[in-house]
Amino acid sequence: MAEIIQKDGTWTFDGDAVRVVPGRDKDVGPLRQALGELSVPLHAIAGISYEPGRKAGRLRLRPRDGADPLTQGTAGRLPDTADPYKLAVDPARAAVAEYFVDEVRNALLLDRVDPGPTDAYLLPGPPVPVTAEAGDATVSFDGDTITLDWNWTAEDAKHSVGPSRFRVADVRAVEWVPAKGLSNGRLRFTLAGAQAAPAPKYDPYAAELFGFGKKELLTALVAAAVTVRLPHPAAPATPTAPATPSAPTAIPRPASPDHDVLLRRLRELGELHKEGVLTADEFLAAKTAILGDF
């Protein structure tokens, strides 16, 4: 077993999974603290690396594309301080970090883990219920219903419709973008059949993110909890039901011969029967077939 203990957190590898536990240092952000312990199975890992630095090095664990709902729901936009797959390492523990990397890499090679994308989530996502304070709303999700309760900063367009409540079954996409510089971020839900959405400040299915506090990043947990309950974007398409076979087309029956022709055939049959060419049974069968054409 390999283990590295730092103020930023503790990582442990037992050969099957990397256990990620956030530290209690004041610099550990609220998102990592709220997310708590993660167990990342070996088959969900694409790679691991150690980046040395003067003041602090960094361990980086990279989940396979599509394996982690948090990474998927945030589109990789989490800042380093909120990313649970990055661990600050004291330079004095660089050798331990490098040993940890070697152990995980060797296991990946021995187990022949495919580092490529997955078509299903391999991590469970954040537990529910989950609630987070956004810029203009409180966003909550109980596993079935998403609620956006507007606060005093929300536009009148949002207050006029009241709190937004909708089921996860009606959600088709989640977009999470953190605030950056002078640009506000957003947590937007796209519902089935939705038309072009207005700007997030007016959209009743979007919460604006102002970026004024670290706790706003907790909205990423809501994004991940909803994302893991949506169809995986790389999942194989559901096979369509085979087309119902149409009723066989009736083969048109040839037009009945002219009655005079049929009568002539009957006379010919009668003569053949009299002459002994046809038996009684053969004559009766042929006569019945001809009479069926009348």
d(CA 74, CA 222): 10
Cross-strand bridge partners of residue 41:
17
Q: What is the pLDDT of residues 9-42, one digit of tens each?
A: 999 999 999 999 999 888 888 999 999 999 999 9
Q: What is the pLDDT of residues 163-190, one digit of tens each?
A: 999 999 999 999 999 998 889 999 999 9
Can you give the pLDDT at residue 109? 96
Q: What is the pLDDT of residues 210-249, one digit of tens each?
A: 988 888 999 999 999 999 999 999 988 766 555 555 444 4
d(CA 66, CA 70): 10
Phi, psi at 265, each rounded to 5°: -65, -35
Average pLDDT over residues 252-261: 51
Of 108, 4, 130, the closest CA to residue 58 belongs to 4
The DSSP output letter for 124 is -
Whole-number percent of the chain with pLDDT over 70: 83
Of 216, 198, 209, 211, the closest CA to residue 157 belongs to 198
Can you give the pLDDT at residue 202? 95
What pTM was estimated for this model as a whole?
Answer: 0.77
Can you give the pLDDT at residue 291? 64
